[in-house]
Structure 1
Amino acid sequence: MRNNLSKITLLFVIGTIIYSCSLVKRVPESKKLLTKNEVFVNDELNKEDRVNNLVVQQPNTKFLNYPFGLTLYNTARPNPDSSYQVWLNKKPNRIKRLNQLLSPKQVERLGKSFFVSGIHRFMKETGEAPVIIDERKALKSKDRLSGYYYNNGYIRNKVSMTIDSVGNKRGKVVYKVTTGKPYFIDSIFKYIESPVVDSLYSIQESITFIKKGDQYNFSNFDNERKRITQYLRNNGVYHFQESNIKYNAIFDDSTQKMNIDLKIEDRYVKNGDELVKKTFSIYKISQVNIFTNNTSKKESNQFNDSVSYRNFTIYSAGKLKYKPKAITNAIFIEKGKLFSDNDRTLTSKSLSNLKVFNYPNIEYIEDPNDTTKTSLIANIYLISKPKYVWQPSFDITTSDVQELGISGRMAFTWRNLFKRAEIFELAAKGNIGSSKDLANPNNVFFNISEYGIEGKLSFPRIVFPANTRKIIRKEMLPTTNANISLTSQRNIGLDKENLTGVFNYSWIPKQKHTFRFDLLNIQFIKNLNPENYFNVYTSSYNTLNDLAQTYNVDPANLENGNLTTQGAVNFIDDVQNGVTSLSPSDTEYKTIRSIGERRIRLIENNLIVSSGITFFRNTKANLLDNNFYSIRTKIESAGNVLSLLADSKNEDLNQNGNKTMFGIEYSQYIKGEVDYIKHWDFGKKNTLAMRAFAGIAVPFGNAQSIPFSRSYFSGGSNDNRGWQAYSLGPGRSGGINDFNEANFKLAYSLEYRFRVGGNFHSAFFADIGNIWNIFDNITDEDYTFNGFSSFEDLAVGSGIGLRYDFDFFVFRFDLGYKAYDPGREMGDRWLKGINFSKTVLNFGINYPF
């Protein structure tokens, strides 16, 4: 035993030495690999990211405390092309033998192939070069730390920096900050030269960011400078700039207080060879000119048509192709109004929202005809996008249900259809795919096909009989959309035809807020091949077939000892009609009845006419912002209009005793959803992401259940990754059906994302959630939500993911495991799915949330 322990210890020591040496193999002599930065603030180690991220040089990225990126870089040969030439010339006859197999050019190209030199270039580009301690960058970090504490009120702070050796060609940089006492604002004085600016500033002086008694903070001064500038420029002070605002600070070191002088000087203008001061003035808009043409070269534009409309003058090269109101409704710069940056921004957004022009160019010039020199002429230059666009597209996709899909789409776009910036799009689409989830007796690879046609008409305004401008103002960028589509799905399954029509409105009441109101959403789903149900839902069939071996009494339902497709239907009827020995209290009876009810629900045709409103808020500032949240809420109601029409039409009730329209039982329900996403940025490309979702759809009136297309499922690459899509739930039932769904869902996901090296990223994740039946026709307690006790049925999936960032999209590969499986018996649920053989593979494009 002692000998074995000695051998293990020796192997561990040798491995540690080899590992330690391999990390510094690309570090030059007399240089040091940066292993750590330490920042001490007042003799205490500071671990705040906002402070440590000020250090310019950061150590190589580590995953599970191992520098994979650095190891990958070190593994690559520094000069693979030269190494190949050395290998070629190492033996005299090697080139001759290769030339007998390949041509001389092929031998030369072999050295540039991926397996000879390309793989090494890939490893160098994907990996991370060793971070060598650079004293100049360390000194720059020292200055940044000092500046940071200065800007936060520690005016007399002191920072020192030392580079310490921590082993062979390794080092760390230690920064020591002594902050001293903070300084506070004691008094504020203002000196404003222009009376106009002084008058405007006094109106909002009380909402300043700089307040007496506050600790000095540079960001408050910066924000105040921006606030003053925006306020003045939105109230007519055209020439005002941030640079016109200056601050002087007088420090009293004995009391750690400071007096602030706010100084706003008049602007300087050039008068010949001299710069002279000129007071600021308030400017008004005297003219608004709109130029529409197909060229961006304003000097070559020949405008031979013009129209005057509501104090706007519209010029055009050739006949004007737009109705004047369509353009002027999108313009907020108006004659007689004060100059305003907000009006210019709104005008740019609104014109871009029309989607018939490129981004507009807006310029202001002083009106030469105004003797007071306080008027501006606004010139707006618009370049039309092509009126007709023919856009083909081709995609290869994969999903949880469809292993491989090939789709194509041909779209024709017609801009400015009725000369009021309307956009009409007509598209034809088709898809063929392969799925293992569908019955495939002939073993056909492409066993899914779908084709359809879609028309969409978009209006850059609210189209409604009543005037809505007081409620939805034009600065909210309102849009009306009318869509209609018809698709036909053919596969070795039920086959469906789907007719959809949507009429909705969308608007932006304020920045980062969006509303969408579906006035009318119509969906008609027709199943073309319902008799093929048990060829598609094989799990349901297998359950019935197993039970039929014991309880079936009619040999006509069997063929070769197994249920026929129609025999499975007959067997369900026999059980419910009391022909078999099963009684309603038996578990097997309940299982068979549940399968029968589900079959009837999934093969029935659906007519859904709904209305709904969706609110969305997203605080994400830009693509690089990883510290934000978004929330989406939706309320939808279906069947109320049809209920009124059905009463007046007075059709006969169907076999279920429900009302119909055109012979089809219509759906009636109310549905609500909340989806919340939050990201925390920890720096160094480390992010914590969280998502919480809750949704419920309650049938009422003419319905006892929710249509399949409006129900919820759980599992899959964007949900609980420990289960495949549709395989989790409902409740503790164990996901026994082929496609498990219900009308109530709770979901929560937490994911820690971090960079491994190069463009490779990884994540640890945990997903919690399930689906249940509630307030519908399902009564089995294994499937239903039964109050707080049902929280024991929340499934927990966990795992690890690997992602590669291609800049324009992220390829995602997640390994999910069942950490807590509510489908198992109580006491046997935890960690039974944590096994490599039970890994659930999830592929996806971009992040799940």
Structure 2
Amino acid sequence: MSNISKYILFTFLLLILYSCSNTRYLQDGEMLYTGAEVKVEDTTMSRRERKDLEAQMEELARPKPNRSFLGLKIKLYLYNIAGEPKKDKGFRYWLRNKVGEPPVLFGQVDMDYNADVLQSHVENNGYFKARTSADSTSTGNKKVKAIYTVKPKWQYKIRNVEFPKDSASTQLDSAVARTQRRTRLRKGRPYDLDVIKDERDRIDQRLKQKGYYFFNPDYILVRADSTVGDHQVDMKLIVKKETPEKAQRQYRINNIYIYPNYSLNDSRDTIRAKTTLTDSTQQYKDFTIIDPHNTFKPLIYDRTLYFHKGDLYNRNDHNLSLSRLISLGTFRFVKNEFKVNDSLNNTLDAYYYLTPMPKKSIRTELSAKTNSANYNGSELTVNWSNRNTFKGAELLSISAFGGLEVQMGGQNKGYNIYRVGGETSLVWPRFITPFPVHSPSAFVPKTRALVNYEYQKRIHLYALNSFRSQFSYLWKEDATKEHQLNVFDVNYVSPNNVTDEYQQQADSIPSLQRVIDKQLIIAPSYSYTFTNTNRKYKRHTIYYKGSVEVAGTLSGLVTGANAKKGDTISILGVPFSQYTKTEHEFRYYMRLGRDSKLAARVIAGIGVPYGNSTELPFIRQFFSGGTNSLRAFRARSVGPGVYYAKDSDGQPLEDTFLPDQSGDIKLELNLEYRAKLYSIIHGAVFVDAGNVWLWNKKDDKPGGEFSSGFMDQLAVGTGLGLRLDLDFLVLRLDGAFPIRNLNYNTNRYEWVIDDVKMGSKTWRKDNLVFNLAIGYPF
């Protein structure tokens, strides 16, 4: 089918859908409600201000009309064509009540109520003399739209703001007066009820920092006087006379009680009674700890709790203490309360109730995987954890794994992959340093030591032994910023059992030889992550991760290694790698509607070998193509540059163990539109582009080096995706094909959109790539 025929068919289908009017299913006298239109009539506003105000008020009108897509009310149409089912089950019932949407009728609209809501909205924004009227108009074919006309007239501005005097008669009035410097009520700004509410909350938060534990925003009254003339308003903040006495007092912390073995089945009154049992209590600094089994060292409370005896109550310290206790990862539930001490005036006793997780646990995971290199397989992981190894909330984890990946396609099958290995890590909930380091974050800083081993066997090819040892610091500034510093990171890779079949190929293809070369990497690194994507209702969210890795610098300086001059230095018989590498990933998400969003990603990385290396070690190089990369291309098959592997006749190599193509520089761009189709079923349309390049020119990889024309060497693919989104798990199937690919005859990347032939079995076999994966690609 030609492209013109497709467009004609698509247009014809649209016309059919439009011709199926939903209004013909309405009863006599019923009218379909098509929504509300708000008209703001004001000559003093700018066009942008008027449009913003109209958009705000249109969102307030209720009810909402039936949802539409490209002007089609598809859900309403499905509801209508399903008809009235005879029983509460079956396909027609499901289509009508689960997929479809009943009509929103004009009779359901209370126009007077909506007019009152709009009137209140404009008054709350300072238009005190506004007038709102409501009407309706027929749009034809039994459809009605509500029209609301708002005449706001003048918007009142703030002339003066008066706080209590700092020398006021009461301590609370003086405390409120000292919050004025950061007030949100500013002279010249419009009157706004929401800003007034925010100001009361701000004052409450400030007072909570100064010990006013029982204060709340309702005790602040903001009086507005709009009679001062010239469309202005004077504001006066006062503390209500009926404010309770205890809300006017500052409180200090007295006793601090900690119950590290609290059971949710026990009442707190019963638990608190245990404080009188001297054989079950321990005094450590300012803390009274009721832990008869000595489950935890008292030191962990000194590191996590911000309160000490005699401190003025502070809401920040209150929240930070709870957050740090939770971030220890040792307690299942963390609760606390403050009670007034009856024997000491204006003091609070703090109680912390901590329910620990089971100290030891074992978890087994079985996963399935597939990729665009025709490998399918599974992996079994067994993990044993001890969450309180040395009674200081240390986390010891020991895991073992084994997996199999079977090659399901290609010219020759049987090049399967077996993986076994294990990892041991120990995490301390603090910085282990020669000198004390204080962290003011709500998250406990961590120190991690890790040892890892993996054995990988590729049948008929080779085997690899990989060892890794790491010592790291991990800390979070807040919920959006995270850091990781690997001060010690050593990776050693050694091959064995290399077959003659593989070695013969490796002798002629250096890329294959590099896979089985011994590698020694001593590379401290640092990474920084920022994300606000957990704010679900924010329209624009971003994710950024940047990292820098410096390998072999000290060793290179000491030994004076220079690989370009032939002075390659080895440690224990293995040349150590020397390079600097940095990688940056940026993601942007924009909510387009309730059930749709636009997601974009940019990855840029560069590695510069020097000293003892002329190129990055294979396991540290960049790759492109695959399930979470360029989905229209086989995993690790793109690049570098315009290079492609050739056989002895100079033709593109199509062997089953085609070398994984790698590079020192990477650029990748991804754009994806995501939309909810039905319930947990989501769809996507995406475009991916990218490539990798070499830093230094290589005779064995002509065209692989980075040049000023790198943008002309981007591979591009597009496709569609289906996702089963269960919140805790996302199953993804993406189908993609290239639209810009390398032409082996011209050694150039060229657009191949005109070559797309979905109806051709041969084209589909050569170009369609399916990716089955868990989780979103980004």
* CA distance in structure 2 between the partners assigned to 1:803 and 1:412 by the alignment: 32
- Equivalent position of 2:248 in the other structure: 280
1:789-820, CA deviations, whole angstroms, 9 ceiling, x for partnerless residues? Answer: 22222333344444443343444444434344
- Equivalent position of 1:218 in the other structure: 193
Residue in structure 1 matching 2:371, options 388, 399, 411: 399
1:682-723, CA deviations, whole angstroms, 9 ceiling, x for partnerless residues? Answer: 433332332222111111111111122211122334333343
Contact 1:496 1:525 in 2 (8 A): yes
Assess, with a 3 A threshold, how the Cα gap between structure 1 residues 143 and 176 changes in structure 2: closer, same or farther: same
Residue 398 of structure 1 and its aligned partner are, at CA, apart by: 3.1
Q: Does 1:174 align with 2:147?
A: yes
- Equivalent position of 2:326 in the other structure: 352
Contact 1:704 1:776 in 2 (8 A): no
- Equivalent position of 1:450 in the other structure: 419
Q: Does 1:612 align with 2:525?
A: yes
Assess, with a 3 A threshold, how the Cα gap between structure 1 residues 137 and 355 changes in structure 2: closer, same or farther: farther
- Equivalent position of 1:491 in the other structure: 458
Residue in structure 1 matching 2:445, options 478, 488, 491: 478
Aligned-residue Cα RMSD (Å) equals: 3.6
Residue 282 of structure 1 and its aligned partner are, at CA, apart by: 1.4
Residue in structure 1 matching 2:574, options 657, 664, 687: 664
Assess, with a 3 A threshold, how the Cα gap between structure 1 residues 236 and 778 changes in structure 2: closer, same or farther: farther
Q: In structure 2, the residue corresponding to 1:527 is in which secondary structure? A: strand
User: Which segment drifts farther, 752-761 or 12-21?
Assistant: 12-21
AA in 2 matched with 1:782: G
Residue 569 of structure 1 and its aligned partner are, at CA, apart by: 5.7
* CA distance in structure 2 between the partners assigned to 1:12 and 1:352 by the alignment: 57
* CA distance in structure 1 between the partners assigned to 2:99 and 2:566 by the alignment: 63
Q: Does 1:790 align with 2:762?
A: no
Residue 134 of structure 1 and its aligned partner are, at CA, apart by: 5.4
Could you tell me the TM-score, scaled by structure 2's length? 0.85
Residue in structure 2 matching 1:332, options 306, 321, 327: 306
Contact 2:640 2:663 in 1 (8 A): yes
* CA distance in structure 1 between the partners assigned to 2:500 and 2:127 by the alignment: 77
- Equivalent position of 1:292 in the other structure: 260
Residue in structure 2 matching 1:805, options 700, 725, 730: 725
Residue 211 of structure 1 and its aligned partner are, at CA, apart by: 0.5
AA in 1 matched with 2:432: V
Residue 728 of structure 1 and its aligned partner are, at CA, apart by: 2.4
AA in 2 matched with 1:477: V
* CA distance in structure 1 between the partners assigned to 2:115 and 2:677 by the alignment: 28
Residue in structure 2 matching 1:773, options 672, 685, 694: 694
- Equivalent position of 2:662 in the other structure: 741
- Equivalent position of 1:848 in the other structure: 777
Map 1:8-23; keep pairs closer than 5 Å. Answer: 16=15, 20-21=19-20, 23=22
Assess, with a 3 A threshold, how the Cα gap between structure 1 residues 22 and 728 changes in structure 2: closer, same or farther: farther
* CA distance in structure 2 between the partners assigned to 1:12 and 1:326 by the alignment: 68
Contact 2:428 2:446 in 1 (8 A): yes
Residue in structure 2 matching 1:628, options 541, 547, 564: 541
Residue 253 of structure 1 and its aligned partner are, at CA, apart by: 9.1
1:65-106, CA deviations, whole angstroms, 9 ceiling, x for partnerless residues? Answer: 444444444454642647xxxxxxxxxxxxxxxxxxxxxxxx
* CA distance in structure 1 between the partners assigned to 2:692 and 2:482 by the alignment: 29
Q: In structure 2, the residue corresponding to 1:232 is in which secondary structure? A: helix
1:527-546, CA deviations, whole angstroms, 9 ceiling, x for partnerless residues? Answer: 33433664xxxxxxxxxxxx
Contact 1:332 1:343 in 2 (8 A): yes
Q: In structure 1, the residue corresponding to 2:171 is in which secondary structure? A: helix
Q: Does 1:342 align with 2:255?
A: no
Map 1:599-748; keep pairs closer than 5 Å. Answer: 599-643=512-556, 658-733=568-643, 738-748=659-669
Contact 1:820 1:832 in 2 (8 A): no
* CA distance in structure 1 between the partners assigned to 2:187 and 2:700 by the alignment: 67
Could you tell me the TM-score, scaled by structure 1's length? 0.78
* CA distance in structure 2 between the partners assigned to 1:58 and 1:760 by the alignment: 24
Q: Does 1:263 align with 2:213?
A: no
AA in 2 matched with 1:181: W
Residue in structure 1 matching 2:85, options 55, 79, 91: 79
Residue in structure 2 matching 1:311, options 265, 277, 286: 286
Assess, with a 3 A threshold, how the Cα gap between structure 1 residues 641 and 494 changes in structure 2: closer, same or farther: farther
Contact 2:373 2:635 in 1 (8 A): yes
Assess, with a 3 A threshold, how the Cα gap between structure 1 residues 723 and 171 changes in structure 2: closer, same or farther: farther
Q: In structure 1, the residue corresponding to 2:462 is in which secondary structure? A: coil
* CA distance in structure 1 between the partners assigned to 2:676 and 2:37 by the alignment: 21
Assess, with a 3 A threshold, how the Cα gap between structure 1 residues 65 and 168 changes in structure 2: closer, same or farther: closer
Assess, with a 3 A threshold, how the Cα gap between structure 1 residues 287 and 13 changes in structure 2: closer, same or farther: closer
* CA distance in structure 2 between the partners assigned to 1:524 and 1:68 by the alignment: 59
Contact 1:40 1:175 in 2 (8 A): yes
Residue in structure 2 matching 1:54, options 48, 60, 71: 60
Assess, with a 3 A threshold, how the Cα gap between structure 1 residues 379 and 780 changes in structure 2: closer, same or farther: same
AA in 2 matched with 1:848: P
* CA distance in structure 2 between the partners assigned to 1:168 and 1:775 by the alignment: 70
1:346-381, CA deviations, whole angstroms, 9 ceiling, x for partnerless residues? Answer: 1111111111112321111111121xx211111111
Contact 1:196 1:282 in 2 (8 A): no
User: Which segment drifts farther, 662-671 or 330-339?
Assistant: 662-671
Contact 1:818 1:832 in 2 (8 A): no
Assess, with a 3 A threshold, how the Cα gap between structure 1 residues 711 and 374 changes in structure 2: closer, same or farther: same
Residue 328 of structure 1 and its aligned partner are, at CA, apart by: 2.2
* CA distance in structure 2 between the partners assigned to 1:532 and 1:80 by the alignment: 72
Assess, with a 3 A threshold, how the Cα gap between structure 1 residues 225 and 194 changes in structure 2: closer, same or farther: farther
Residue 845 of structure 1 and its aligned partner are, at CA, apart by: 3.6
AA in 1 matched with 2:417: I
Structure 1 unmatched ranges of 5 or more: 1-7, 83-111, 270-276, 535-564, 573-595
Residue in structure 1 matching 2:215, options 208, 221, 240: 240
* CA distance in structure 2 between the partners assigned to 1:12 and 1:643 by the alignment: 67
* CA distance in structure 2 between the partners assigned to 1:25 and 1:847 by the alignment: 42
Map 1:457-472; keep pairs closer than 5 Å. Answer: 457-464=426-433, 466-470=434-438, 472=439
1:104-128, CA deviations, whole angstroms, 9 ceiling, x for partnerless residues? Answer: xxxxxxxx7xxxx258526742444
Q: Max radius of gyration: which structure?
A: 1
* CA distance in structure 2 between the partners assigned to 1:821 and 1:601 by the alignment: 26
AA in 2 matched with 1:452: G
Assess, with a 3 A threshold, how the Cα gap between structure 1 residues 163 and 530 changes in structure 2: closer, same or farther: farther
Q: In structure 2, the residue corresponding to 1:154 is in which secondary structure? A: coil
| Count, aligned residues | 734
Contact 1:516 1:615 in 2 (8 A): yes
Contact 1:403 1:435 in 2 (8 A): yes
Residue 438 of structure 1 and its aligned partner are, at CA, apart by: 7.4
Structure 2 unmatched ranges of 5 or more: 1-7, 646-651, 653-657, 759-763
- Equivalent position of 2:226 in the other structure: 251
* CA distance in structure 2 between the partners assigned to 1:349 and 1:14 by the alignment: 56
1:141-170, CA deviations, whole angstroms, 9 ceiling, x for partnerless residues? Answer: 544444443333333334444444434444
AA in 2 matched with 1:182: Q
Contact 1:266 1:280 in 2 (8 A): no
Assess, with a 3 A threshold, how the Cα gap between structure 1 residues 784 and 176 changes in structure 2: closer, same or farther: farther
Assess, with a 3 A threshold, how the Cα gap between structure 1 residues 683 and 523 changes in structure 2: closer, same or farther: same
Contact 1:522 1:610 in 2 (8 A): yes
